């Protein structure tokens, strides 16, 4: 069953130049995302998953590769076109304490989306007020908070504002940059449920970035595992949990805590630190910490291969 493709990324690269060399934040990542689906992106801190999300919606300029949105090449879209496109591609940030302007009230923050994109005129006070209330209602914010400032609210409520602000534009594609990792576990579930409900009613496509596999397990159709800017494995969620192929994915999966005191996991403990993304050596980037690494892993590029239909792995062992 082929679904309509919304986003396609081809060989996307984002390098940052630093004093000590080129930092390969995202290196040669390709994937596509269908309408109404969710792609989970997992990996540890500093593996380039946030940079990937931000580069796709052009908050960072890509170093190489192509981005297609609804079939249109937006890699070099100019400012004017990007502003139009931003109505359809949005981002929800990780830290709800940093992503809201502390000098704006809840209603001002939500209105800002509508005003910037010209969906409402500033003079249409009544229309704006109604729309803001409608949006607050949609994300489960009580109407009496309309004039509150972010610092008066807790993390969950703030994240709801961040979602309402994005919802105001009714986008098709939303990058969710670790939207729940700054929240308490009980609040996490609420926000995840809210996001799921919104997806069901509005048909959003999510690129869901997280370092927590259990968060994406119930939300994603597919999961992509990143290590040091490279995609190492990508397959359907069910496949990933049942049959992980890459040694890094296996290690990640074995690190998920199990709520059972008698359960003694056979944990795969990774030795050493994540290596530097600045001018990385050739070969598999995970080789330095991989228990199966051989000389072959350190030579030449390891291509992503389709080992089963829809299951891609970048590992010489497979």
Partner 1 sequence: MKSRANEKNKQRSLWVEAWRRLRKNKLAMAGLGFVLLLVVLAIFTIAVDLITHNAFYTEHVVKQNLRLRLQGPSKEHIFGLDEFGRDIFLRVIWAIRYSLFMGTVAIGISVVIGSLLGAIAGFYGKVVDNVIMRIMDIFLAIPSMLLALAIVAAFGTSLTNLLLAIAISYVPTFARTVRASVLTVKDQEYIEAAKALGASDARIIGKYIIPNCLAPLIVQASLGVAGAILSIAGLSFLGLGIQPPTPEWGSMLSNARSYIRDGWHITVIPGLMIMLTILSLNVLGDGLRDALDPRLKN
Q: Which residues bind partner 1 (CB under 8 A)?
A: 54, 57, 59, 82-83, 86-87, 90-91, 93-95, 98-104, 112-113, 116-117, 144-145, 147-149, 151-152, 162, 165, 169
DSSP H stretches of helix in the chain: 49-56, 79-85, 106-116, 125-138, 155-167, 185-202, 213-217, 237-242, 247-254
Which residue, 180 or 290, is less far from partner 1 as judged by CB?
180
C-alpha separations of 30 from 133, 147, 155, 205, 278 in Å: 40, 43, 34, 17, 21
The least distance separating partner 1 from the CB of residue 131, rounded to whole angstroms, comes to: 15
Three-state secondary structure call for residue 195:
helix
Three-state secondary structure call for residue 36:
coil
The least distance separating partner 1 from the CB of residue 195, rounded to whole angstroms, comes to: 17
Whether 274 contacts 257, CB under 8 Å:
no
Which residue, 68 or 149, is less far from partner 1 as judged by CB?
149
Nearest Cα to Cα of residue 299 among 282, 278, 280, 287: 282
Nearest Cα to Cα of residue 52 among 78, 85, 91: 91
Which residue, 83 or 130, is less far from partner 1 as judged by CB?
83
The least distance separating partner 1 from the CB of residue 151, rounded to whole angstroms, comes to: 8
The least distance separating partner 1 from the CB of residue 98, rounded to whole angstroms, comes to: 4
Which residue, 97 or 241, is less far from partner 1 as judged by CB?
97
Both tokens of 42, joined, read: 């997992």
C-alpha–C-alpha distance, residues 274 and 46, integer Å: 9
Both tokens of 251, joined, read: 């290690």
Which residue, 81 or 296, is less far from partner 1 as judged by CB?
81
The least distance separating partner 1 from the CB of residue 153, rounded to whole angstroms, comes to: 11
Which residue, 100 or 235, is less far from partner 1 as judged by CB?
100
The least distance separating partner 1 from the CB of residue 278, rounded to whole angstroms, comes to: 21
């Amino acid at each position: 069953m082929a679904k309509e493709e919304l986003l396609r990324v081809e060989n996307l690269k984002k390098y940052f130049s630093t004093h000590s060399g080129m930092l390969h934040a995202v290196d040669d990542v390709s994937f596509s995302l269908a309408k109404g689906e969710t792609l989970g992106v997992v990996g540890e801190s500093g593996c380039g998953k946030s940079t990937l999300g931000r580069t796709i919606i052009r908050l960072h300029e890509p170093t190489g590769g192509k981005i297609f949105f609804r079939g249109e090449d937006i890699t070099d879209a100019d400012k004017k076109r990007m502003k139009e496109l931003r109505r359809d591609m949005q981002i929800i940030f990780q830290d709800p304490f940093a992503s809201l302007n502390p000098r704006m009230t809840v209603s001002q923050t939500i209105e800002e989306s509508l005003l910037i994109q010209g969906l409402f005129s500033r003079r249409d006070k009544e229309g704006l007020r109604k729309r803001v209330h409608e949006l607050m209602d949609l994300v489960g914010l009580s109407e009496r908070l309309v004039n509150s400032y972010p610092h008066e609210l807790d993390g969950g409520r703030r994240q709801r504002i961040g979602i309402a602000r994005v919802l105001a534009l009714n986008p098709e594609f939303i990058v969710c940059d670790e939207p729940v990792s700054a929240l308490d576990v009980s609040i996490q579930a609420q926000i995840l449920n809210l996001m799921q409900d919104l997806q069901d009613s509005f048909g959003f496509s999510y690129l869901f970035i997280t370092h927590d596999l259990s968060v994406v397990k119930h939300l994603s159709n597919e999961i992509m595992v990143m290590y040091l800017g490279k995609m190492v494995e990508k397959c359907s969620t069910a496949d990933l949990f049942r049959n992980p192929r890459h040694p890094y994915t296996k290690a990640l999966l074995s690190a998920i805590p199990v709520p059972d005191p008698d359960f003694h996991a056979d944990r795969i403990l990774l030795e050493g630190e994540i290596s530097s993304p600045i001018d990385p050596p050739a070969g598999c980037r995970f080789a330095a910490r991989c228990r199966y690494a051989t000389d072959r892993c350190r030579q030449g590029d390891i291509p992503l291969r389709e080992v089963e239909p829809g299951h891609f792995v970048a590992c010489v062992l497979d």
